[in-house]
Amino acid sequence: MLKNYKSYGSVCELETQILSAGDLGLIEKGVLGRLKDIAEIERMLKALIESLKNKPLNP
């Protein structure tokens, strides 16, 4: 379960770094359009974490 939280933290960090780079003018606007893809991955990870919350640790 902890790995899922690490993955979620990593995707949030990536999103923050891309937004910061965009604010500083270090990347093109087209790259910022890819944030939709990152947001989709973030949404899927949230759903995975939520679905695993009530599952037993051993199958």
Whether 25 is in a domain gets the answer yes
Whether 35 is in a domain gets the answer yes
Whether 58 is in a domain gets the answer no
Q: Which of 4-8, 22-26, 52-56 holds the top average pLDDT? A: 22-26
Whether 59 is in a domain gets the answer no
Separation between Cα atoms, residue 37 and residue 25, nearest integer Å: 20
Give CA 47 to chain center in angstroms: 12
**Average pLDDT of the residues of the chain:** 81
pLDDT at 3 over 70: no
Say how many domains are in the chain.
1
Separation between Cα atoms, residue 53 and residue 56, nearest integer Å: 8
Task: Note down the domain range covering 6.
Answer: 2-52
Whether 57 is in a domain gets the answer no
Contact, 2 vs 46, CB < 8 A?
no
Q: Which amino acid is at 5?
A: Y
Give the pLDDT band of residue 1 (cuts 50, 70, 90).
low
8-36: average pLDDT: 84
Output the pTM of the full model.
Answer: 0.67
